[in-house]
Amino acid sequence: MRSRIADCPDGDYFSEGYIESDGSNPEPLVVRLKLTIDGDSIQADFTGTSAQTNGPTNCGPAMAFNAVGTIVKAFLDPKTPINNGSFNPISVTAPEKSFINARETAPCGGMAEVKFLIDSVVAAAMGQVVPEMSVGDLKGGANHIHIAGPREGGGTYIHYEWPAGGTGASAGVDGSNAVRSYNEGDFNSIQSAETVESQYPLRVERCEVRNGGCGDGAFRGGFGLRRDIKVLDETAMLSVLSEKNVIPPYGVAGGNNGAANRFVVVRNGKLIQPSDVPGKVSGFGLQAGDLVREETAGGGGFGDPLNRDPALVAEDVRLDYLTAEQAEARYGVVFESGGGVDAASTSARRLSLASARVTATLEASNEDDIDGSRRRISVPRAMASDLCIVDGDLVELRGNAIAPLRGWARVVDVANNIISLGPTGMRLLDADHGDQLEIRTVQTAPEGVV
Instruction: Please report, for the domain that includes residue 426, its CATH number.
Output: 2.40.40.20
Provide, rounded to the nearest whole percent, the portion of the chain with pLDDT above 70: 99
106 and 170 housed in the same domain? no
Whether the predicted pLDDT of 273 surpasses 80: yes
| Distance in angstroms (rounded) separating the CA atoms of residues 51 and 99 | 5
Asked if 384 and 400 sit in the same domain, the reply is yes
In a domain, 425, yes or no: yes
Tell me, yes or no, whether 447 lies in a domain. Answer: no
The verdict on 161 and 284 lying in the same domain is yes
For residues 409-415, average pLDDT: 92
Q: In this structure, what DSSP letter does residue 29 have?
A: E
The stretch 262-266 carries a mean pLDDT of: 97
Q: Do 162 and 298 belong to one domain? A: yes
Judge if 146 and 289 occupy the same domain.
yes
pLDDT digits over 208-227, tens only?
A: 999 999 999 999 999 999 99
Per-residue model confidence (pLDDT) at position 186: 64
Same domain, 114 and 20: yes
How do residues 80-128 score in pLDDT, each as one tens digit?
999 999 999 999 999 999 999 999 999 999 999 999 999 999 999 999 9
Q: What pLDDT is stored for residue 411 in this prediction? A: 96
Does residue 157 share a domain with residue 114? no
Task: Convert the pLDDT of each residue in 316-359 to its tens digit.
Answer: 999 999 999 999 999 999 999 888 999 999 999 999 999 999 99
Spatial strand order in the sheet of 235-241: 156-161, 144-150, 235-241, 280-287
Q: Give 136's contacts (C-beta < 8 A, 6+ positions apart).
A: 167, 168, 169, 170, 175, 215, 217, 221, 249, 250, 251, 252, 255, 258, 299, 300, 301, 302
Residues 321 and 182 in one domain: no
Sorting pLDDT into bands at 50, 70 and 90, what band is 184? Answer: confident
**Residue 114 shares a structural domain with residue 179:** no
Give the confidence band of 188 by pLDDT, cuts at 50, 70, 90.
Answer: confident
Residue 88, in any domain of the structure: yes
Q: Do 81 and 151 fall into the same domain?
A: no
448 in any annotated domain: no
Number of domains in the chain: 4
Q: Provide the percentage of residues in the chain whose pLDDT is more than 90.
A: 90
The pLDDT of residue 185: 67
Which among 289, 323, 355 is the end of a domain?
Answer: 355
Does residue 110 lie in a domain region?
yes
Which of 112, 133, 154 terminates a domain? The answer is: 133
| pLDDT tens for each residue of 138-163 | 988 889 999 999 998 889 999 999 99
Q: For all residues of the chain together, what is the average pLDDT? A: 95
Residue 182: pLDDT band with limits 50, 70, 90: low
The reply to whether 185 and 68 lie within a common domain is no
- The mean pLDDT value for 421-434 works out to 95
Domain boundary (238, 269, 302) is at: 302
pLDDT at 253 over 70: yes
Give the integer Cα–Cα distance in Å for 312 and 298: 17
Distance, in Å, from the CA atom of 203 to the CA atom of 182, rounded to the nearest integer, reads 30
- Please report whether residue 39 resides in a domain: yes
In a domain, 117, yes or no: yes
Separation between Cα atoms, residue 131 and residue 135, nearest integer Å: 9
Residue 50 shares a structural domain with residue 129? yes
What confidence score (pLDDT) does residue 187 get? Answer: 67
Task: Tell me if 450 is assigned to some domain.
Answer: no
**Residue-level pLDDT at 121:** 97
Entry pTM: 0.95
The domain containing residue 313 runs over which residues?
309-355
